[in-house]
Structure formats: C-alpha cells, structure tokens
C-alpha cells in the first residue's frame, strides 16, 4: 500500500496548499508515489485515515477548528504545518493584539452571528507538530523536500539560517548597506531564495524569525537609516506577527 497523504485547511488564503498544485512538473509523479487520501481542494474522493503524513494549512481561530485539529492529530502519523498561518498564526493573528469584539463589528453587520476565538493561534499551540514549514507562502521545493523526507523516513533538510546567507549565495548586493533600503533579512528565516533583495526591495519577513534573531540590533539599524518607531513596529507586525512578538529585543 502506498503511504497516505492528507491536506487540511484552517484559517488561511489557500496559497500554501495551492503550492502543491503548483508543482506542475512533479504532481503526477508524486501522485504515483503516495495515495492522496484527503485533499478537498483537489478531489472529492476522501479515503479514511489514519494518514501517514498530514499537511496542515491555516491557523486556529474558531472553537470548531480547535476541536478539528485534535481529531486530525489523532488520525495522522506525521503532522507538518505548511506556511505562516499554521506555523505562527498568520496575519490574522494581528487580532491577538487588538479588541476582537471591535474587529468583528467593523467587518460584520451582525457580529453576533460570527463564531470566533479571541485569538488566531498556530497549530503547535493545540497539538504536537512534527515539522513546521515556514513562509507566506511556503516555497514549492521546500514542500517537496519535506514530503520526500517523510516518505523516505528521514528528517527534512531545511536550513534555518537568515535570509542574508541566501543573498550572499545569490550574489545579491546588500540593499541595506548599499542603498539604505530597510530590510528584515538579517533576522528572517531563509527559504524563499532571497527574492525581495534580488528585486531591489528589502525583505519583509514573510518567512518569520530566524533562529535566535538579533532584533534589537536590527531595530537600531532601521532607525539609523530613517525609519520611525511606528514604521519599524509595523514592519514586524505582518504575516508572522506572533512569532516576531515572542522574540526578545536583546541580543541572544
């Protein structure tokens, strides 16, 4: 029997599971190696669990979803989160720092109809997670690496250095040093291929914090090249807001 792969969705934009369908050259090969047993966006065929590998997209933000992820954990041998929502709560975690009641009334005419938790939390706040794949969105080749690794029974080979390393490997001139462009690359987890600096813009942190980032030093730098404090705070308060909030400002 081929191993069973399942894909699950919580609060998210669908982009990370779309990354699997964006593997145009590999999709049919992958489908020959695994049984895609539960992937609602791609097929109405649903095979019962247990599943060998579950890919989970999205954050937990409703009482029903908090229950559903516990069920998914029970029927999954390996559970891998894909993307910033599942790994860090996503941009919708901005509500964790605001008044959810007030948010609800801004968006909905009859807010009392909307069932929601006060916060948007990562999957790991609810169940044990075997591997967390970063990115808003995730990188296709990293996704294939993680799936291949679990099929082969090894740990995924996903580096955890900052984006700066990738700029150096690509030969991209440092946008902050050379042009004074604000860049979160020094504290951001690698994985995207350092695309933003290659296009002349600073990294905006969509892969979340690197391991032991020196946030305090970077914030000082950003101030010295002309960013106001509110601008600096907003720069960290986007797609991985909850993960950056957890990091100390002091050097590690």
Partner 1 sequence: MTHRERTLRVGALARVEGQGAMYVRARDGRVEEVRLDIYEPPRFFEAFLRGRAHTEPPDITARICGICPVAYQMSACRAIEAACGVTVSEPLEALRRLLYCGEWIESHTLHIYLLHAPDFLGYPGAVEMARDHRHVVERGLALKKAGNTIMELIGGRPIHPINVRVGGFYRAPTRAELAALTGPLRRALDDALATVEWVAGFDLPDDRLDHEFLALTADVYPIEGGVPRTTGGRTFEVADFEDHIIEEQVPHSTALHARLAGGGRYLTGPLARYALNRDRLSPLARDASRAAGLGPVCRNPFQSIAVRAVEVVYAVEEALRLIEAYRPPPDPYVAVPPRAGIGRGATEAPRGVLFHRYELDPAGLIGSARIVPPTSQNQAAIEDDMRAVVQARLDLDDAALTAVCERAIRNYDPCISCATHFLDLTVERS
Please give the C-alpha separations between residue 95 and each of 3, 4, 63, 207, in angstroms, as whole numbers. 38, 35, 16, 20
Comparing CB distances to partner 1, the nearer of 87 and 116 is 116
Q: Which of 33, 40, 70, 252 binds partner 1 (CB under 8 A)?
A: 40
- Shortest distance in whole angstroms from residue 160 CB to partner 1: 20
Contact 9, 58 (CB under 8 A): yes
Taking residues 99 to 118 in sequence order and writing x for each that binds partner 1 by CB under 8 A, - otherwise, the string is: ---xxx-xxxxx--xxxx--
Taking residues 194 to 213 in sequence order and writing x for each that binds partner 1 by CB under 8 A, - otherwise, the string is: -xx-xxxx--x-x-------
Q: Which of 160, 182, 173, 172 is nearest to 234 (CA)?
A: 182
Comparing CB distances to partner 1, the nearer of 118 and 248 is 118
Using DSSP's 3-state secondary structure scheme, residue 181 falls into coil
At 191, list the tokens.
């994985």
154-188 burial by CB neighbour count: b if 16+ within 10 A, else e? Answer: eebebeeebbbebbeeeebeebbeeeebbbbbbbb
- Shortest distance in whole angstroms from residue 114 CB to partner 1: 5
Comparing CB distances to partner 1, the nearer of 44 and 211 is 44
Where along the sequence are the contacts to partner 1 (CB under 8 A)?
9-19, 21-22, 24-25, 27-28, 31, 36, 39-46, 58, 61-62, 64-65, 90-92, 94-95, 98, 102-104, 106-110, 113-116, 120, 136-137, 192, 195-196, 198-201, 204, 206, 231, 234, 238-239
């Amino acid at each position: 029997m081929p191993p069973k792969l399942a894909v699950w969705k919580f609060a998210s934009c669908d982009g990370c599971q779309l990354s699997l369908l964006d593997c145009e050259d590999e999709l049919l090969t992958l489908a020959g190696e695994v049984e895609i047993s539960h992937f609602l966006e791609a097929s109405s065929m649903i095979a019962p669990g247990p599943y060998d590998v579950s890919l989970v997209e999205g954050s937990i933000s409703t009482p029903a979803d908090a229950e559903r992820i516990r069920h998914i954990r029970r029927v999954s041998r390996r559970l891998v989160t894909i993307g910033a929502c599942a790994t860090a709560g996503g941009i919708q975690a901005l509500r964790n720092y605001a008044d959810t009641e007030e948010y609800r009334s801004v968006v909905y005419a009859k807010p009392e109809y909307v069932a929601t938790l006060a916060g948007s939390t990562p999957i790991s706040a609810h169940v044990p997670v075997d591997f967390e794949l970063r990115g808003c969105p995730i990188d296709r080749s990293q996704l294939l690496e993680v799936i291949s690794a679990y099929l082969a029974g090894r740990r995924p080979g996903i580096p955890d250095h900052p984006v700066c390393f990738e700029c150096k490997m690509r030969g991209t001139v440092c946008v902050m040093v050379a042009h004074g462009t604000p860049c979160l690359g020094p504290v951001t987890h690698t994985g995207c291929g350092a695309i933003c600096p290659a296009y002349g813009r600073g990294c905006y942190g969509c892969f979340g914090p690197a391991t032991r980032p020196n946030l305090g030093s970077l914030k000082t730098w950003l101030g010295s090249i002309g960013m106001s404090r509110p601008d600096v705070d907003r720069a960290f308060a986007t797609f991985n807001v909850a993960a950056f909030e957890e990091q100390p400002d002091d050097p590690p």
